[in-house]
Structure 1
Amino acid sequence: MTAHALRGDLESTALYDLPGPRAQRRHFLYGTASTVIILGLLGWLLYLLFDTDQFTAAKWTPFEYEGIQELLLKGLGNTLKAFAYASVLSLALGAVLATGRLSAHRPVRWLCTLCVEFFRAMPVLVMIFFIFVALKVQPLPALVAGLTLYNGSVLAEVFRTGINAVDRGQREAAYALGMRKTQVMSYVLAPQAVRAMMPAIISQLVVALKDTSLGFLITYEEFLHAGKLIASNLDYDLPFIPVVMIISPIYIGMCMLLSWFATRVARRQRRSPKTDAVDIPPAGPGAVLPGQV
């Protein structure tokens, strides 16, 4: 058994009491009741869909047309493009604002705090409309800019909180060894904070992915906009239900894929020696610190 596994078993035993027979029976009853309720809701939903003839061939045959398939694929590609730009820029903006909020210079700290609080409090739809209408920006840059300002300000708080969550003794020990501030951040604080920040980061990126659907309000041809075009042009009753049944699982699948990626990254970090605590020997005369030659 490895040291990590042994430490995890000890922590789980110390922090969690195994349930007794009565608690196990109670948990089993809760789980059974929840399963029955969920299955009942799903059965009721399927009944409503069949009762309104949502699975008839006439409502699903148009999706076999090549033009409709190309429209959906184009919308999905535009959604992924907007999300890719917004996620990268949001992470970069969040890192910059978090660094400013952690700065020792008061004017820089106040300015970054003002930006974070303003853009975090402003509704993302209002920012997108303002950039698109008032500044007369094209739909894609307007959507990306609005998502970047909002999600970047939220991620800035995530980064700042994650850095501050690291034990203060780690920082003081690093400074006592003669490390510079950038070395302390790069080699001591950031690797340990990533573990705590990763779930919140992925959660915010999922929010950014779902908010790309706001692009259809400014005529950006993303996935939801493509579904709206199909629902408004196909000539049969209640067309939006089949469209929603196609679009929703794809959105859910993309969010689940992000969550799976976050879990995989977290597991690799737990196995990585760079994020493990190491014993640093006393720095003698002429000792080389990380990042120095």
Structure 2
Amino acid sequence: MTRRPAWLTRSSAPKSVLFDIPGPRARRVNFTLSVVGVLLVLAVIAWIVMRLDDADQLTAAKWEPFTYTDIQNALIKGMWATIKAAAVGTVFALALGAILAAGRLSDHAPVRWVATTIIELFRALPLLLLIFFAFYLGKGSISPFMSVVIGLTLYNGSVLAEVFRAGINSLPRGQAEAAYSLGLRKSQTMRLILIPQAVRAMLPSIVAQIVVLLKDSSLGFIIAYPELLRSVQQIGAQYFNLLPAFIVGAAIYIGINLTVAGIAKILEVRTRHSKTGIRPTALDETALLDSKL
């Protein structure tokens, strides 16, 4: 009789409780604090609305331009430019982060030194400087779009490299040792076993960095890249409604970030289910056949 694999065994031990269940008095206190917190938030919102009304920022004339087709098209173009730069920068940053993380974990000292130098250099430089360097050092041969993408890639790729490295180092050493015992090279072990697990474990941190990357794409307005913030600024300057224009721009940014967070939540749920699901592997099926023979 073969021994049941440990990963198939479900633990029946009760989960540890990190805090005591609140009693009636504690529940009343928590409810009171919640009500007070909600009232304070509503009071702050009401104060902001009153201040906007006193400054004549809530009049119909200030918001009417956003009903114009040209203004809506300008906002859509700016939003698309932001999403496009963020999407391309995300792909390149993830690829660069994986390469730098692999170099940082290399067995060869020169490779580790080069990867570490690149990571520390571009993490230390402000993103705005990287965008400026890419744009002005290119002497007009690099478009504003590519300048923004290069800056986003270098900075966020260096940050993601450290995220990947931390995720890989957090995995049990037995993962790599089992792969080496099967004859896999280190590159195969990293690509096939360690990196996929690290990405799954560090998915929240990766998504948070992608959201930061998306917001940082607004720095492209410095080099006249027609992203959302620049479009909002131009609309506000043209119709003398800067505050309503920035409110609309903020709402669009919030909508985009909530969409990214929603997609990340779906991916997290899917990866968690695939991780906890019990699926026999080919190795387990082979062992079962051998036991029957």
Report the TM-score range of the alignment, normalised by the length of the smaller protein: 0.7 to 0.9
1:195 aligns with 200
Residues 283 and 101 (structure 1 numbering): CA distance in 2 closer, same or farther, change over 3 Å? farther
8 A contact 1:132–1:138 mirrored in 2: yes
Alpha carbons of structure 1 residues 14 and 60: separation in structure 2 relative to 1, 3 Å? same
Specify which of 132, 137, 152 is matched with residue 134 of structure 1: 137
Unaligned regions of 5+ residues in structure 1, if any? 288-293
* Counterparts of 1:242 and 1:272, CA distance in 2: 45
> Counterparts of 2:79 and 2:205 in 1: how far apart (Å)?
25
- Paired with 1:268 and 1:233, the residues of 2 have a C-alpha distance of 46
Q: Is the 8 A contact 1:95 1:159 kept in 2?
A: yes
- The answer to whether the aligner puts 1:106 opposite 2:106 as a matched pair is no
**Structure 1 contact 162–197 (Cα < 8 Å) conserved:** yes
Q: Please point out which of 92, 95, 120 is paired with 1:117.
A: 120
Q: How does 1:251-270 map to 2 (within 5 A)?
A: 251-270=253-272
- TM-score normalized with structure 2 length: 0.86
Quick one: distance in 2 between partners of 1:232 and 1:180?
A: 59
| RMSD between superposed Cα atoms in Å | 2.7
Q: Which moved more, 1:199-208 or 1:173-182?
A: 173-182
Cα distance, 1:260 vs structure 2: 1.0
1:20 maps to a residue whose letter is P
Give 2:4's aligned residue: none
Question: 1:178, 1:169 → 2: CA distance?
Answer: 14
Unaligned runs of 5+ in 2: 1-6
Q: Output the CA distance in 1 between the equivalents of 2:163 and 2:85.
A: 22
- Residue in 2 that maps onto 1:17: 19
2 CA distance for matches of 1:36 and 1:10? 42
Aligned partner of 1:291 in structure 2 is none
Does residue 1:154 correspond to 2:156, yes or no?
A: no
Alpha-carbon spacing, 1:259–1:178, altered in 2? closer, same or farther (3 Å)? same
Q: Which amino acid aligns with 1:132?
A: F
Residue 84 of structure 2 aligns with which residue? 81
Q: Take 1:255 and 1:94, find their aligned partners in 2: how far apart are those partners?
A: 22
Q: Kindly, what percent of the aligned residue pairs are identical?
A: 44
Cα shift at 1:87:
0.7
Write the distance in 2 (CA, Å) between the matches of 1:278 and 1:40.
57
Q: SS at 2:107's partner residue?
A: coil
- 1:272 pairs, out of 231, 249, 274, with 274
Change (3 A) 1:47 1:172: same
* TM-score, scaled relative to structure 1: 0.86
CA distance in 2, matches of 1:59, 1:165: 53
Find the aligned partners of 2:20 and 2:194 in 1 and give their Cα distance: 35
The offset of 1:277, in angstroms, is 9.1
Q: AA paired with 2:248?
A: I
Paired residues of 1:213 and 1:223 also in contact (CA < 8 A): yes
Asked if the contact 1:191–1:274 (Cα under 8 Å) also holds between the matched residues in 2, the reply is: no
The one of 219, 229, 236 equivalent to 1:231 is: 236
Aligned to 1:171: 176
1:97 has 2:100 as partner: yes
Question: CA-to-partner distance for each residue in 1:121-172, whole Å, 9 max, x for gaps?
Answer: 1000011112212332321111110111000000000011101100112222
Q: 1:128 to 1:76 in 2, by over 3 A?
A: same
Q: Which amino acid aligns with 2:47?
A: W
Distance (whole Å) between structure 2 residues aligned to residue 151 and residue 274 of structure 1 = 31
| Deviation readout 1:204-252 (Å, 9 max, x if unpaired) | 0101100111111111111111111111112x4xx11110121111101
Equivalent in 178, 185, 199 of residue 180 of structure 1: 185
Equivalent residue of 1:53, what SS? coil
Counterpart in the other structure of 2:217: 212
How far apart, CA to CA, are the structure 2 residues paired with 1:268 and 1:211? 28
User: 2:71 aligned with 1:68, yes or no?
Assistant: yes
The more displaced of 69-78 and 88-97 is 69-78
- Once the two structures are overlaid, the 10-residue window that deviates more, 131-140 or 160-169, is 131-140
Over 3 Å counting, the alpha-carbon distance change for 1:55 and 1:262 in structure 2 is same
Structure 2 CA distance for aligned equivalents of residues 20 and 59 of structure 1? 50
Query: CA separation of 1:134/1:188 partners in 2, compared to 1, >3 Å: closer, same or farther?
Result: closer
Q: How many residue pairs were aligned?
A: 277
1:32-51 deviation line (CA, Å, top 9, x unaligned): 22222211111111111222
Equivalent residue, structure 2, for 1:290: none
